[in-house]
Amino acid sequence: MAIFINEPSHTFNEYLLIPGYSSAECIPANVSLRTPLVKFKKGEKPAIELRIPMVSAIMQAVSDDNLAVALAKSGGVSFIYGSQSIESEAAMVARAKAYKAGFVPSDSNVKADSTLADVVNIKKATGHSTIAVTDDGKPNGKLVGIVTSRDYRVSRMSLDTPVSEFMTPLEKLVVAKEGTTLKAANDIIWEHKLNSLPIVSEDGRMLYFVFRKDYESHKENPNELLDDHKRYVVGAGINTRDYKERIPALLAAGADVLCIDSSEGFSEWQKRTLEYVRETYGDSVKIGAGNVVDREGFMFLAECGADFVKVGIGGGSICITRETKGIGRGQATALIEVAKARDEYYEKTGIYVPICSDGGIVYDHHITLALAMGSDFVMLGRYFARFDESPTEKLLVNGSYVKEYWGEGSNRARNWQRYDLGGDRKLSFEEGVDSYVPYAGPLADNVAKTLSKVKSTMCNCGALTISELRDKAKLTLVSSTSIIEGGAHDVIRKDTSSNER
């Protein structure tokens, strides 16, 4: 006979946090949101630690290289979507890793006998205004000069003008040799009042640029998440079909962490994928798995070697898995049970496997609830799809700006690998919808506002860290009428769209 769990499963919206004692030190400015992304042994530090507890969903409508850069600047990690060709995903990873390496590869180059037209075309295609002039026009050719937007005026010059006539030649450039540290390079930039500094090999071949704007960007984004080479940390999604070909390509492109993208993780397919990674790469490759909704599922993936485990089935805003298949669990209940299993596993093995709450986040305060219930970080799709940096179109619909947003289980995405049960290579039925979300502007501003709410609530609970929040949090279930009471009620709301104050 089937096992019956008579206790109803609950969502985040059915819980509230009860305030605790707040000391004078408990102010948002003192709150740290650092949290582990991957597993670690007791007494050791995780190989990757997030500055903020937010990662972006492995979705076509959410996570490309642009969002990866924007989120890493704010301290989180984006998992670039895997429902595309191996070559295309690897290229996205490579672009994100190269965007700010401190030492940026020279991927826009011309020869001295190229023309102004070539320079203009490169700038239109790439947006790059600093172009290296090399003897062969290749990224690692011998440096002979540099062209910047200050060196020419399209309105006053013929497009046939050779680059050699208006470039800044090598003898007039300040350059640094290979081996120069990033700090030393920035010192040279400031000392000579440069916008960029070429880094060349001992025999004069072009290697990298170091840009003044990257230094300023770092000062503006103190939480940015960087690897040991001062490049942005980037994640990538994989599936359980072509992982033997996809993983090596993503690692070669520079991916820092991988995650199996699947609607349900308690399967032999994920076990095989994790076994391949451990047998091939040992613990050097970091890979998350999921999704699960109970203790059994977590223990299975932890024992298979997952670096973190995603929790949640059917709770996403565009997910209809519960409607179409009748599987899933209320996100809050699933998270609470898995968090207990995570702690049990840690006590037994001395290995802490972080858990990620994936789905069910409707309001900003749900992030704080998820953290209080035991999640180490949250994965968000709809939230990030609203921003300028997401890959979808911004449209004007019925007088309001929106962005397109579709599920990986929709016919539009056709990501059959995510719902793979070993059968035909096709999507038999939809488990996601195609939709719009309200446009919300730039990522950085919105993330800062969301996290200010999280920090404020943590202070109300007397907690300055996420682990302290878990220890001190008191949660209460609320009734449906209590939920109504929690919003504005019994008043006539003012029309905030008017100019009246």
Q: For the chain, how are helix, strand and coil distributed in percent, rounded to 5?
A: 35, 20, 45
**Residue 428 token pair:** 């038999």
| Burial class for 229, CB neighbours closer than 10 Å (0-12, 13-18, 19+) | exposed
Backbone dihedral region for residue 490 (phi beyond 0: left; psi -120 to 50: alpha; all else: beta):
left
Q: Which residues are catalytic?
A: 319, 418
Mode of pairing for the β-strands spanning 49-50 and 40-41: unpaired
The whole-angstrom separation of Cα 210 and Cα 355 is 37
Distance (Å, whole) CA 124 – CA 424: 43
Cα 200 to Cα 474: distance, rounded to the nearest angstrom: 58
Task: Quote the CA–CA distance of 238 and 262 in Å, as a whole number.
Answer: 9
> Nearest-5° angle of CA 450, CA 452, CA 456?
120
Q: Left, alpha or beta for 441 (phi > 0: left; psi -120 to 50: alpha)?
A: left
DSSP per-residue codes, 114-171? -BHHHHHHHHHHH----EEEESSSSTTSBEEEEE-GGG--TTTS-TT-BGGGTSEEGG
Contact (CB, 8 A) for 385 and 341:
no
Beta strand pairing call for 400-406 and 434-438: antiparallel
* Angle between helices 443-460 and 65-74 in degrees, nearest 10: 40
What does the alpha-carbon distance between residue 129 and residue 149 come to, in Å, rounded to a whole number?
6
Dihedral of alpha carbons 354, 360, 366, 369, sign: negative
